[in-house]
Amino acid sequence: MVFKRSDGRKLDEMRPITAKVGIIPNADGSAMFTFGKTIAIAAVYGPRLLHPQHMQNPQKAILRVNYDLLSFSVSERKKPGPSRRSQEISKVTEWSLSPALDLKEFPNTVVDVQVYILQADASTRVAGINAASMALAQAGIPMRNLVCAVSIGKMDKELVVDVDNGEEHFEDGEGATDFPIAKLANTDEYTLLQLDGKIQPALIPKALVLADKACAKIYEVQKKALKEVVSE
């Protein structure tokens, strides 16, 4: 049996992706990123002085990420406020972005990144990372690179790119695996690796190859969106 995607996509095909930079005038940087029906927005404030003082790092700015689903972004209303899930995603998002940043110029300050999901159809954390990466660039934070992220799935025995909500709940055969991956663009440096499901060790390197190809496309879309906001 070969797994067929419900929306007719090829196994290695992402949903339509869009990006827009500069969506929140108050923020130092902001962006939106979508994978099909999944919509993530991100805003950056800072570098600004960090309080309380004991949290300050005299050698560099600290990065502080907050990720959450808006209450109406999912079928069953999500209770507002942080959950264990959102706290975990906030932290892994922080880890996936910080290798791209050079924060040594801004001691004792904080760079706050706020990521919210307006509409969720799976792959929300990777959409959030793509949006946050562009927002940091627009805010003028010194960056070595952009961060690109995509989720690789495994449906029964087939690897697929950019998992949607229906696929996340696939139960036949070996079931569904969700493998969100982030990397520094055009490198083989991976900054986010999370996984849930059932996947043979030998398939992990193959999943990385699929992620690389998808991330190359995402990188182009991010660059284009950043150039558009500069020329406006």
**Which residues would be at the binding site for other proteins (CB under 8 A)?**
57, 84, 87-88, 91-92, 95, 98-99, 179, 183-184, 187-202, 204-205, 208
Which of residues 198 and 224 has its CB atom nearest to other proteins in the complex? 198
**Spatial CA neighbour of 31 closest among 97, 122, 105, 107:** 97
Contact status, residue 65 vs residue 115, Cβ threshold 8 Å: yes
Least CB distance to other proteins at residue 100 (A): 9
Which of residues 161 and 199 has its CB atom nearest to other proteins in the complex? 199
Least CB distance to other proteins at residue 232 (A): 33
Which of residues 34 and 191 has its CB atom nearest to other proteins in the complex? 191
Least CB distance to other proteins at residue 199 (A): 5
Angle subtended at Cα 110 by Cα 192 and Cα 137, rounded to the nearest 5 degrees: 60
170 three-state secondary structure = coil
Which of residues 23 and 195 has its CB atom nearest to other proteins in the complex? 195
Q: Which residue has the tokens 């182009």?
A: 220
Query: What CA–CA distance (Å, rounded) separates 130 from 31?
Result: 9
Least CB distance to other proteins at residue 116 (A): 20
Query: What CA–CA distance (Å, rounded) separates 123 from 47?
Result: 28
